[in-house]
């Protein structure tokens, strides 16, 4: 895997994904055509050189799912030099003790994974203390798969969480709902579409209850395996990683030391966490929290 051929591939893969995003957007029914879907390039585990390459190819929104990794990439000198207009999305599990750190991320565009009032309050209070002029954008993460070991608030509790953020958290703005959904690659297209529809249904319920226009509440859903379907049913924000950057295979080279814990939730040193994430990446959503 030589650097230059990898980089060339990224621009090409990015272009292909962008084309498919546009084509899927054009297939949407008329009432869903009010917005241009946003592509978030999920760069987790990938080096800063690849982020810069994608940025140079025109990509602006990037997603990361570990606080330490996002913190380090966003503060990286090269990225700061080359990617002035980068917009970071946090899409991983956020523990309240990591709130101060994530609020230090420059160019933080949105935290997509707010799944409890306690976390919303911690973000609101932390951001408030920083005395910024603008609010911090967040999304509420909803567990649409019904699997108990997934993160996200339950569909039934979503209205309450949205209402709490809107009424009790003046320093943060709720811009949408996010779901990770099922990672089951055996789902056929119809099953996938049905699962994607469940976030649409939650949005309708929330909007009806709180008298919000559905157009004012984004939907973040869809990943490499299903982003085109997600857009067709109304996603406004798709998070695509491996199709752009290549597989995040098992670690090799200078990665986790033998016996490193794969429990990303356990607080180790930052260096350890960085290493652990390499291993736990494609497994952490399956792990019991
Ligand atoms: C890794 C990840 C993605 C991207 O997954 P791909 O299948 O590589 O496109 C999207 N969303 C979340 C929350 C992720 O953790």
Q: How far is CA 270 from the centre of its chain?
A: 21
pLDDT for res 12 = 96
pLDDT for res 259 = 37
pLDDT for res 2 = 43
Q: Is residue 222 within 8 Å of 232, Cβ to Cβ?
A: no
pLDDT for res 214 = 96
Q: Which atom of ligand 1 is nearest to the CA of 112?
A: 13
Q: How far is the CA of 156 from the centre of ligand 1 (A)?
A: 25
Q: Is residue 280 within 8 Å of 263, Cβ to Cβ?
A: yes
In whole angstroms, give the CA distance from residue 21 to residue 229. Answer: 10
Stated pTM of the model: 0.85
In whole angstroms, give the CA distance from residue 25 to residue 82. Answer: 30
Q: Is residue 234 within 8 Å of 32, Cβ to Cβ?
A: yes
Query: Which of 70, 89, 91 for a ligand 1 pocket mutation test, highest count of atoms within 8 Å of Cβ?
Result: 91
Ligand 1 cavity residues, CB under 6 Å? 42, 44, 65, 91, 180, 223-225, 239-243
Helices (H), 57-105: 67-74, 77-82, 99-102
pLDDT for res 195 = 78
In whole angstroms, give the CA distance from residue 235 to residue 7. Answer: 28
pLDDT for res 143 = 93
What parts of the chain have a pLDDT lower than 70? 1-7, 148-149, 183-186, 250-289
In whole angstroms, give the CA distance from residue 131 to residue 149. Answer: 36
pLDDT for res 250 = 58
Q: From atom 4 of ligand 1, which residue's Cα is the shortest distance away?
A: 241
pLDDT for res 254 = 38
pLDDT for res 64 = 98
């Amino acid at each position: 895997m030589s650097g230059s051929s990898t980089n060339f591939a990224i621009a090409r893969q990015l272009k292909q994904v962008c084309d498919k995003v546009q084509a899927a957007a054009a297939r949407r029914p008329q009432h869903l055509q009010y917005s241009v879907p946003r592509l978030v390039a999920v760069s987790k585990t990938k080096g800063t050189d690849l982020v810069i390459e994608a940025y140079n190819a025109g990509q602006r929104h990037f997603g990361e799912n570990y606080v330490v990794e996002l913190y380090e990439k966003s503060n990286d000198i090269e990225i700061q030099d080359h990617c002035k207009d980068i917009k970071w999305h946090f899409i991983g599990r956020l523990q309240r003790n990591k709130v101060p750190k994530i609020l230090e991320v420059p160019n933080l565009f949105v935290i997509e994974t707010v799944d409890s009032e306690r976390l919303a309050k911690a973000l609101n209070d932390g951001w408030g203390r920083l005395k910024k002029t603008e609010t911090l954008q967040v999304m509420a993460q909803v567990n649409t798969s019904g699997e108990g070991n997934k993160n996200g608030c339950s569909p039934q509790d979503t209205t309450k969480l949205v209402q709490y953020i809107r009424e009790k958290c003046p320093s943060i703005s709720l811009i949408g709902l996010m779901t990770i959904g099922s990672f089951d690659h055996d789902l056929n297209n119809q099953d996938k579409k049905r699962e994607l529809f469940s976030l649409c249904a939650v949005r309708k319920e929330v909007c009806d209850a709180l008298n919000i226009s559905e157009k004012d509440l984004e939907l973040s859903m869809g990943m490499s395996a299903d982003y085109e379907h997600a857009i067709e049913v109304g996603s406004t924000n798709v998070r695509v990683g491996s199709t752009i950057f290549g597989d995040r295979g098992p670690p090799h080279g200078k990665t986790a030391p033998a016996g490193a814990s794969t429990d990303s939730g356990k607080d180790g040193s930052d260096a350890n966490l960085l290493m652990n994430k390499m291993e736990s990446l494609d497994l952490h959503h399956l792990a019991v929290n």
